[in-house]
Structure 1
């Protein structure tokens, strides 16, 4: 199912008596995006300094999610309250010496820019915050928000599925009475044809035998077009779908299987059709079942 969650947390906030350290005052942001997919597909976009946290995040998500194409994005944002720090003099001296050495051997090398000096000069100072330790709790918050969003969508999907189930029941109720009517019509048609055949034989065949043959043909026709079993199984599958929707939990795969069975029964109903009305009912059923299939593949 689709869903989105975003959380943020300030890192390295300095104590009132302690001067802020360079790079310590930052904001850690985490986003989780989920779109529909039959299987669970996880993608992580993490800063290099948090790459080691990927296994823990993967374990956290796989324990709670079963389906969906999920993207986890983590980024750092600069805290506007953080002040730019001055590199220590000894670090600047060291950078100057290194630059002179490099340019002695590589005269064409570009000199260090101010940005280079600040990046290299402050890079040695580590943050007082263990970012890896801060990330899992933040991911828990985002995951809870994502699950809540997906739960809301799940309720909407359940309402849609119940509506389709009701429509399928209506179509099945329309199909039930059609079969006896078709059998009776075909029986009368066989009797009329055999009566015409008897008139052409001038009594060479006994009327009783002709009538029995007509009834036998009508019975065979009734067996061929009987869809009582299909309608019974279809009703049973619909009952199970409604039971699962009421139960909740991880029901996506079971619903997927039941949708396949519904499609099979609708196909059989169409193949046994002996009237346009039954064919129309079969086609309408397939349309509803296909709509259910598209949504069921997104349900855990």
Structure 2
């Protein structure tokens, strides 16, 4: 399910902003982009996300602005030593003018801007405020996902109604009756040759055998049971996406069997319409938690 939420806050010496968004996913995939220096919060943030969301691809961005940011400019002596060693090694081997001081200091990594340090108490207060902000953003995200979920639930109910209507049409189709199969068998025998005479008892036996092979009673009963189960899951709410996904696979299995057993073009058409409705149901199921 998709959703977006944002939370911001501030403590003495710093402010922060947290953005969290989610898109559809088969499982729970958490991607964190934390401000430099806040990697220690990763485990706590992942636990917060896992408690509130069970399915979807979740991306959380955390940015932090400190008061007086960039106030201290320091020389990275290790990077500078590496640069000077490279200059000494290449000097005389490559015809070039000696590098200037501003050119060396302009190289990436030689000069670093560092924020002025905060007290340990201020750092702890900032970390606690960030976790509170993340929690609030996740609450808002869950609300957004629930709103979308209520809309998807209405679509799922429509698909289930469509599937139920098709099951009822298959249930009422006359091609399923032994009498219809017997009449069709008589006509086929008559079309072969008027001289062929088959005892009525033998025709009745063959009709019973064909009716048994074409019997879709079990498939229709299971489809009806699946419809009832799906409606109960949707009504119960919560994280039912995986269970509905499994149920959609069972729907599809029964529809395939119905088509393979079909003994009439009209019944096959109903089975194909049933498969199409089930595919639409399954596509929507992928969008819920």
Please give the range of the TM-score, normalised by the shorter of the 2 chains. 0.7 to 0.9
Q: Does 1:9 align with 2:9?
A: yes
Summarize the alignment of residues 25-36 of structure 1 with structure 2, pairs less than 5 Å apart: 26-36=14-24
Which residue of the partner structure matches residue 279 of structure 1? 268
Instruction: Measure, in 1, the Cα distance between the counterparts of 2:71 and 2:43.
Output: 37
Which residue of the partner structure matches residue 118 of structure 2? 126
SS at match of 2:49: helix
Instruction: Measure, in 1, the Cα distance between the counterparts of 2:273 and 2:70.
Output: 71
Instruction: Measure, in 2, the Cα distance between the counterparts of 1:46 and 1:267.
Output: 49
Instruction: Measure, in 1, the Cα distance between the counterparts of 2:18 and 2:280.
Output: 34
Which residue of the partner structure matches residue 130 of structure 2? 135
Q: Are the counterparts in 2 of residues 230 and 269 from structure 1 also a CA contact under 8 Å?
A: yes
Summarize the alignment of residues 15-94 of structure 1 with structure 2, pairs less than 5 Å apart: 24=13, 26-77=14-65
Instruction: Measure, in 2, the Cα distance between the counterparts of 1:287 and 1:41.
Output: 30
Cα deviation per residue 1:133-169 (whole Å; 9 max; x = unaligned)? 2211111000000000000011011111100000111
Q: Does 1:247 align with 2:236?
A: yes
Distance 1:60 1:109, change over 3 A: farther
TM-score by length of 1: 0.78
Q: Are the counterparts in 1 of residues 262 and 268 from structure 2 also a CA contact under 8 Å?
A: yes
Instruction: Measure, in 2, the Cα distance between the counterparts of 1:144 and 1:124.
Output: 33
> Which of the pair has more CA radius of gyration?
1
Distance 1:108 1:279, change over 3 A: same
SS at match of 2:38: helix
Q: Are the counterparts in 2 of residues 11 and 129 from structure 1 also a CA contact under 8 Å?
A: no
Q: Are the counterparts in 2 of residues 34 and 69 from structure 1 also a CA contact under 8 Å?
A: yes
Which residue of the partner structure matches residue 101 of structure 2? 110
Q: Larger RCO: Structure 1 or Structure 2 (Cα < 8 Å, ≥ 6 residues apart)?
A: 2
Q: Are the counterparts in 2 of residues 194 and 211 from structure 1 also a CA contact under 8 Å?
A: no
Unaligned runs of 5+ in 1: 13-23, 202-206
Distance 1:272 1:251, change over 3 A: same
Instruction: Measure, in 1, the Cα distance between the counterparts of 2:201 and 2:59.
Output: 71
Q: Are the counterparts in 1 of residues 178 and 211 from structure 2 also a CA contact under 8 Å?
A: yes
TM-score by length of 2: 0.80
Unaligned runs of 5+ in 2: 88-97
Instruction: Measure, in 2, the Cα distance between the counterparts of 1:197 and 1:155.
Output: 59
Cα deviation per residue 1:112-147 (whole Å; 9 max; x = unaligned)? 68xx9x965x74542644332221111100000000
User: How big is the shift at 1:263?
Assistant: 0.6
- Aligned-pair Cα RMSD in Å: 3.3
Between 30-39 and 224-233, the greater mean CA deviation after superposition: 224-233
Q: Are the counterparts in 2 of residues 227 and 272 from structure 1 also a CA contact under 8 Å?
A: yes
User: How big is the shift at 1:273?
Assistant: 1.2
How many equivalent pairs are there?
A: 267
Q: Does 1:169 align with 2:164?
A: yes
Q: Does 1:155 align with 2:144?
A: no
SS at match of 1:226: coil
